[in-house]
Structure 1
Amino acid sequence: MANREEEEAAPLLNPEAHNADSVFSAGPKPRDPPPNLAPAVAPAPAVTVDCGEKVSAKWAAEGVPLTLAHGSVIGEPLLRDQWDSGLFSCLGRNDEFCSSDLEVCLLGSFAPCVLFGSNAERLGSAPGSFIHNCFTYAGLYMLGNCFFGWNCLAPWLSYPSRSAIRRRFNLEGNLETLARSVGCHRILGDEARQKQLESLCDLAAHVFCHPCALCQEGRELRRRLPHPGFAARPAMVLMPPAEQIMGRDTA
């Protein structure tokens, strides 16, 4: 009876701890987790993207994406960006670059050496490369017209700049555009072969449509890159002089 009264007087004591050998033993045994418990956090659902949805991307220098559209998945190949204007859009577009597009059209028609030098300077970001490229182009232009009767040598100098613009801004080439329009995707399977064919298409664009190709590249570069001469020029800020108070000592 006495033991039962003591147990009723101390109901918070663990009955398993009342043995003769170890009354002041360690605390209660740790409880095993109950089996078959659902996880606290549910697994994330699989992300699916519709194959017909077009993922738009804007690209900066050296193929670095600026903004990705909603629904893009990390690890998927991004679509190539389009040229800002077409090959035969000689007058450009009616936007803030309208006057620049008109200047590009006039330079491509009457002074292609100046336009090529300007494009090479913007693409290379070297302020002193304009004169070198301009005179080199002018020499090839004169040799081609003197010996062959048309400008057939300068396109071999200028077509690599078109390939460099495509690689730098991840632009779609003429071959890729034609293959997607006609539904022939076998050409786009081999990457090495596609690069070779795209280079041949760039050469063909400069040989057969040389002024138009130069103007298209000029419009693209002026919209994407600032002129290196203007970018390297430091800005000068003139501060007004401090207010001066003239007084006379009365002492």
Structure 2
Amino acid sequence: MDIDHRHRPQQHTWNNGLCNCGEDVSTCFVTCLLPCVTFGQIAEVVDEGKSSCVGQGIIYGLAMMIQCHWLCSCMYREKLRSKFGLRGDACGDCCIHCCCEPCALCQEHAELKSRGYNPSIGWIGPPNAPPVQMMPPSMNK
């Protein structure tokens, strides 16, 4: 069976390694103590604001109670890879999240930051979008 490689989308490498947690100590610290926060931030940005950080964080926290939280984050790793054309596959995503959940979450958070997003402040639009103009308080009447 001959596979035509011309029709397969180009896969890019990750900008951040799996074990680069030390580059952003605050994200590493939060992820180790409260992984549901980091997961919620990632999910909100990957879903482009269609889901909330709080809602996704609660789902992740509930999944932690029955030790299947890595399945939630595995699905979002696949979405993130698909969104940016990153190398990997579903089996690898599951293995990474099952065996090294904090490192995987830190890598995904760092990947979003390296692409111009800031998961810590939530979804505010694409990085190259013009800033949202806020009305002065006197005009909100």
Alignment TM-score, normalising by the size of structure 1: 0.44
Does the aligned pair in 2 maintain the 1:155–1:206 contact within 8 Å? Answer: yes
2:72 to 136, 157, 168: 157
What percent identity do the matched residue pairs reach? 29
**1:226 aligned onto 2:117:** yes
CA distance in 2, matches of 1:116, 1:167: 17
Does the aligned pair in 1 maintain the 2:43–2:51 contact within 8 Å? Answer: no
Determine which structure has greater relative contact order: mean sequence separation of CA pairs < 8 Å that are 6+ residues apart, divided by chain length.
Answer: 2
Give 1 or 2: higher helix fraction: 2
2:104 to 199, 208, 213: 213
Q: Which residue of 2 aligns with 1:171?
A: 86
1:200 to 91, 103, 122: 91
The count of corresponding residues between Structure 1 and Structure 2 is 124
Amino acid corresponding to residue 235 of structure 1 in structure 2? Q
Alignment TM-score, normalising by the size of structure 2: 0.76
Question: Structure 2: any 5+ residue segments left out of the alignment?
Answer: 1-5, 137-141
1:140 to 40, 49, 63: 63
Amino acid corresponding to residue 156 of structure 1 in structure 2? L
Question: CA RMSD, aligned part only?
Answer: 2.5
Question: Structure 1: any 5+ residue segments left out of the alignment?
Answer: 1-74, 93-100, 145-151, 174-197, 239-251
Which aligned runs of 4 or more in structure 1 are off by greater than 4 angstroms? 75-79
| Aligned partner of residue 164 in structure 1, secondary structure | helix
Q: Which residue of 2 aligns with 1:30?
A: none
Q: What's the offset of the Cα at 1:127? A: 6.5
Structure 1 or 2, whichever has the larger Rg, is 1
Q: Judging changes above 3 Å, is the alpha-carbon distance between structure 1 residues 156 and 86 closer, same or farther for their aligned structure 2 residues? A: same
Does the aligned pair in 2 maintain the 1:122–1:225 contact within 8 Å? Answer: no
